[in-house]
Structure formats: C-alpha cells, structure tokens
Structure 1
C-alpha cells in the first residue's frame, strides 16, 4: 500500500466518524430516522449485556448447556417483568389516577397554610411575598391537570409502539446471546482487518475499560437503587404514608441519577404527600426527613459497599457530568454521563502516565493529585 492509498483510507475513516458525530450531536432529522431504526438493536444490546451475566452464571453453576441456560434466563427475566407488571404497575397507576382526581378537586388556599401572625411587620411582609409567589405556581399546576390527563391519553400510542419495540428487542437479544461467540469473533476479524495492530490494541483496551466501568457502575447502580426503593417502601409503609409504593418507586428511580437524584425525587414525593393529606402539611416535613435519612444511609453505607470504586472521580466532576449529560441527552444523559466521564478520565490519565513514564517523570505532581483508591469508602455516590 503506497502513501496515497493510505491517505485516502484514513481520510475516509475520519469523514465517516466526523459525519456520525455531527449527526449525533446536532440531532438532525436524518439522525432521528437512523435512531428510530437502530433503537430495537440498541435495546437488544442492553438486554443482552445485562442478561449475559445470568446466562454465564447458570452455565458455570449448573450442568446446563448455553441454549438451556439462555432459555432459563429468559424464563426468569420474563417472570420478573410479569410479576412487576401484575403487582406493582396497577397500584402505581391507581395511585396516579387518585392523585390526579384529588389535585383537580383541591381548593388550595396558601393563606391558610402559611398564614401566621408574627407580630412583626417585616416578617409579615416576607410571608405575604412568599404566598404571592407560590400561589400562581400552585394554581397553574391545578389548572394543568386536565391537560396532563389529555397528554397521558395522547401518549398511549407511543407506549404501545414502545411495547412492540421492546418485544422485538427481546427476540433479537435471544439471538445475540445464542450467537455471542460468533458475533465477538466477527467483530475481532473486522477490527484487525481494518486497523493495524497498534490501533486494534488501543480499541480493545478502550473497550475493556468501558466494559469494566459501565459494568461496575450501571449494574451496581441498578442494585443500589432497587435496595433504596424497597427500603423506602418499607419505611413509608411503617409510618403509614399515603401512596407509599408510588413514592418509593420515584425515590428508587431518581436514585439512579448521582447527586441530583435525591433532590429530584424529594420534589414529587413532597407534592404527593401534601396532596394525600392537605390538612397535615407537617407530613411533608417528615417525608423529607425520611428521604434525607435514607439517602444518607445510601451515601455512606449502601452505595459505597455496592459501587466500590466504580466512580473514581470527585464530586465536582460528577456534578459536571450530570449537568452536561442532562442538558444534552435528558435523564438518560444524567445517568450515563458519569460512567462516560470516568471512561474518558481513565483513558486520558493512562495516556498521560504512559507519556510521563517514557520521559522519566513517573511521580510528577503525584502528591498534589487526589487519589481515588479501590476501597469501599472512596465513593459516596
């Protein structure tokens, strides 16, 4: 291969990569069409990635072959989905319906809730300012109830389409698990055929780091959030909070988002608690205290025990990752921004360390760099 051929090939690769990045970041109509087409494959990959652990576990600890292990895995997976759908979702839907009806029938008078005579003209003025600010917001929420119901009705078609897409993804994931060895082998052949040995080594090294980081963070965060959701349900039930299951579901779901999750979950939890008992606003305070205790337990005990060193970055960088990811890709970006940042940070630091080692500066500024060692106390989220 002469220099001219080499230049054309690499220029074509750069053009392809650049075009993909531009389409992805600009969210053009072309990207939307492409994304809709690959969505089932993306979901199938996620399902395959998660269930492969269970398949390998069954293969290792039983005498079943891979085909039977895949069959047993999907029986367990579908059974869990059916159980959740039968026991939890109807209760959540019923609770949401009750809240919508109650919200539409509420006549909220914030003057009665907040009005206290402080015998001080300045405090009374501050109190009235708070009432004047909050009242329009509450009225807008109440008036928007009808639009909210209409929005739910309009989303039924999208939900149905999503369910069909999920079923298709489930079927695709079965074939992915069955043909895992073949798919991995073909990917390796493609990489070695189109890249030199050094480039292929870099690709596999980055892929391994991504696998290790995303596995530790995503799987760990799922388990952590499941525990927090169950713990919240038990605590809210013991203290007889209304809509305990719905609030616990919200707390567990928002717990997937580092740092901002507890704040995002506390807002709807407080609103739901107040709607359930508008004559007892003190329950909102108790609800917030309960959420604070649960999140502290998660931050100092449960989270570090499960996640270990899967984060490995300071709070500042996690907040940056959540903020940028949320602004770019919404809730999914808030969740995936953290492991993505950890991956980028790991790649950059390994590259810097390699270059410093070649120049003989192994310990340069090591005393001034905060270390995140592999210990169960190194991460609070």
Structure 2
C-alpha cells in the first residue's frame, strides 16, 4: 500500500475507534459534558446581565463623564456602582414589598376560595341571564375550578414548610449570583478591550471569506436583541407601574398580583396584554361583577394609552417586524418552547427578517445591475 493509502486508513480507523467509544459510553460522556457546561453558566449569565445593563450603564457613565467632569476611569467606576446599586435596590424592593404582597394575596384567595366560588357562580349566572342564557348547569365548570384551586392549595402547603430548609440552596444561589454580578461588572468595565480582543481572535483563526459574514450576523443579532430588551423592558416597567397605581386608586383587590403579571407578560408581544388583563378579570369575578367590569374598563383604557402613547415612544420601530410575523413568531415559539419561546421568538424572528430583507435587497440590486449592463451591451451591438 502507498503511504497516502496508509494515512487514509489510519484516519478512518481512528474515526471509527472514537465513534465506537462515544457510542458505548454516550451516557457517561453526556453527564460529564453536562457537568462541564454547568461550570460555564455563571459566565453565560454574566454576559446576559451585562447585555441587559449596558444601556443604563452607558447613560450613567456619560453623565459622570460629561456633566460631573470625572476622569474616564472614575466615571466608569461611578457608573458601575450606580447601576448595580440601583439594580440591587430594585430586586430588594420587589422581594420586600411585591413578593410578600403576591404571596399574601394568593394565600387569602386560597383561604376564602369557598366564598369566592359562590360569588363567582353568582356573577356568571347574572352575566348569562343578561345574555339571555338560562337554565345552564355550571356544576362541571365549578367543580373543575375548585379542583384546580385545591391543587394550588396542596402545592402551597408543600412549598412553605420546605422554605425553612432552603438555606443551603439559597446561600449557594446567592454566591452564584455574586460571582455572576462581579463577572458582568468586569465585562461592562472592559467591554471595549474585550471587543477588540475578540476581533483579533476572529481575524487570526477565521478565514476572511467567513469572517465578514459572521461579523455581519453577530452585529445584526446584537443590535436586534439590544433594541428588544431595552424597549420591552422599559415598557414592561411603565405598564406594570401604571396598572398597580390605577388598581390601587380604584380600590381593586389583587393589585400586586395582577400588576406583576401584566408587567412580566408585557415582554410577550400581542398576547401578553390579554394574559394579564384576563387574569385580573377572572380574579375579580370571584369577588364581584362590578369590580371585574371596573377593572376591564380601566385595562381597556390602559391598553389604549399603551398602544398610542407608551409603545410608539418607548419601543417604536425597534423591532421592525410586521404584525403578521410577530403573531406567527409568538405562536410557533410558544408551541415549541413555552413562555420563554414566546418571549425570545420575536427578536429571533426579527433577526431572520432583517437578514433576509438585506439579502433580498442585495440580490435585487445585483439583478438590476446585471440587467442594466446587459441592456447597455445590447444597445452597443
């Protein structure tokens, strides 16, 4: 055999050997790979946190740099301290005020579920009677709702006794969060240097024919996700706060629970508002029809304010994705990956939409140029 044939056989046998090893020990290798990948989670979460806090950090750093006239290094440190103290303060406020209110409201709902069930049944009968529907048996519906509430009660009874034994896990999570926060601070502080190092690394090891397309895709993805997080995050905060203030002034129960859900579901385009508003209407129907209708009218007005004032000014054309594709993306993403799929589907679909749009425009331009060139050559002939 020639030396080239021997070399090819050695490569083939080596490939088969490693393929057999991987196949036989796939379970062990999978567990080890999962263990190794978990060690990189703090770094991944740090990158995500730095990405989310980038806009507030740049705003505060620019303020200290241009308005306060601090040196560049001092402005960076002051910006980092301000942003992270503010973020910790917001999380602490949520844990201190919103979470206990949420838990107490949920407990109160479970404890008084029998009275709420009777009021809910009476409210449904009144609504059905006004709609001209009588003699409708609501027993199966009420039994189903009561069964779900009973399951929720059992879950709460199991969770609260175990919370005292979560000290070790809480400390471990707190330590992980601390490491993530420190890593994200370093990423924000040295992001220009890190960006330069990544560019040099890509240029050194990536072929030039691949470097430019990969660079274009990475920049487009970062721009799309940055705009989505900045716009939707601010809209979520404004909408949840307005909902809480409005429900508090109207004297409606479960203002904390409903406002928290409205704020969180605002990240889901189109469908998020219906989820939060529907939860508020259902919860208040357990109390009285009047309060449920009051909340419904208030939420319709709030949605008009959001659609005509908040969304155009805060989010505007940040995503640039038509409504049809937003609905399609949310539906497909939710069906495949649940709530997280619904949230991430819009920026992912926007990324694909922008890439395809630019590619189509480029191809159309090349086609028009080739046609014009061919017509000129034809005229010369």
Q: TM-score range by the shorter chain?
A: 0.7 to 0.9
After superposition, residues 342-353 of structure 1 pair within 5 angstroms as 342-353=350-361
Asked if 1:322 corresponds to 2:330, the answer is yes
Query: Which has the larger displacement, 160-169 or 281-290?
Result: 160-169
- Is this contact kept in 1: 2:50–2:188, CA < 8 A? yes
After superposition, residues 72-83 of structure 1 pair within 5 angstroms as 72-83=82-93
Asked if 1:70 corresponds to 2:80, the answer is yes
2: CA distance, partners of 1:114 / 1:60: 56
- Is this contact kept in 2: 1:117–1:124, CA < 8 A? no
Compute the displacement of 1:337 (Å).
Answer: 0.7
Of 310, 335, 338, the match for 1:302: 310
Compute the displacement of 1:306 (Å).
Answer: 1.1
- Is this contact kept in 1: 2:50–2:187, CA < 8 A? yes
2: CA distance, partners of 1:293 / 1:29: 52
1: CA distance, partners of 2:169 / 2:184: 21
TM-score, normalised to structure 2, is: 0.76
Of 293, 299, 315, the match for 1:285: 293
- Is this contact kept in 2: 1:353–1:362, CA < 8 A? no
- Is this contact kept in 2: 1:224–1:302, CA < 8 A? yes
Query: Which has the larger displacement, 45-54 or 33-42?
Result: 33-42
Unaligned runs of 5+ in 2: 1-10, 12-29, 65-69, 372-381
Where 1:124 maps in the other structure, the secondary structure is coil
Asked if 1:203 corresponds to 2:214, the answer is yes
Task: Describe the shift of the 1:154–1:210 C-alpha distance in structure 2 as closer, same or farther (beyond 3 A).
Answer: farther
Query: Which has the larger displacement, 295-304 or 172-181?
Result: 172-181
Compute the displacement of 1:343 (Å).
Answer: 0.6
2: CA distance, partners of 1:287 / 1:267: 10
- Is this contact kept in 2: 1:104–1:145, CA < 8 A? no
Where 1:108 maps in the other structure, the secondary structure is helix
Of 132, 140, 143, the match for 2:147: 140
Task: Describe the shift of the 1:69–1:266 C-alpha distance in structure 2 as closer, same or farther (beyond 3 A).
Answer: closer
- Is this contact kept in 1: 2:243–2:302, CA < 8 A? yes
2: CA distance, partners of 1:105 / 1:169: 46
2: CA distance, partners of 1:118 / 1:200: 65
Task: Describe the shift of the 1:78–1:103 C-alpha distance in structure 2 as closer, same or farther (beyond 3 A).
Answer: same
- Is this contact kept in 2: 1:104–1:143, CA < 8 A? no
Of 101, 107, 112, the match for 2:111: 101
Compute the displacement of 1:149 (Å).
Answer: 0.6
- Is this contact kept in 1: 2:247–2:255, CA < 8 A? yes
The higher radius of gyration belongs to: 2
- Residue 167 of structure 1 corresponds to which residue in structure 2? 178
- Residue 55 of structure 2 corresponds to which residue in structure 1? 53
2: CA distance, partners of 1:281 / 1:40: 48
Query: Which has the larger displacement, 29-38 or 221-230?
Result: 29-38
Report the count of equivalent residues: 332
- Is this contact kept in 2: 1:48–1:173, CA < 8 A? yes
- Residue 246 of structure 1 corresponds to which residue in structure 2? 257
TM-score, normalised to structure 1, is: 0.76
- Is this contact kept in 1: 2:52–2:229, CA < 8 A? no
2: CA distance, partners of 1:134 / 1:349: 49
After superposition, residues 266-285 of structure 1 pair within 5 angstroms as 266-275=277-286, 277=287, 280-285=288-293
2: CA distance, partners of 1:323 / 1:164: 37
1: CA distance, partners of 2:336 / 2:306: 28
- Is this contact kept in 2: 1:270–1:288, CA < 8 A? yes
- Is this contact kept in 2: 1:326–1:332, CA < 8 A? yes
- Is this contact kept in 2: 1:356–1:362, CA < 8 A? no
Unaligned runs of 5+ in 1: 1-7, 9-27, 364-381
Asked if 1:42 corresponds to 2:44, the answer is yes
2: CA distance, partners of 1:153 / 1:229: 27
- Is this contact kept in 1: 2:117–2:142, CA < 8 A? no
What does the per-residue CA deviation read over 1:297-318, in whole Å, with 9 as the maximum and x for residues that have no partner?
A: 2122211111111122222211
Task: Describe the shift of the 1:359–1:115 C-alpha distance in structure 2 as closer, same or farther (beyond 3 A).
Answer: closer
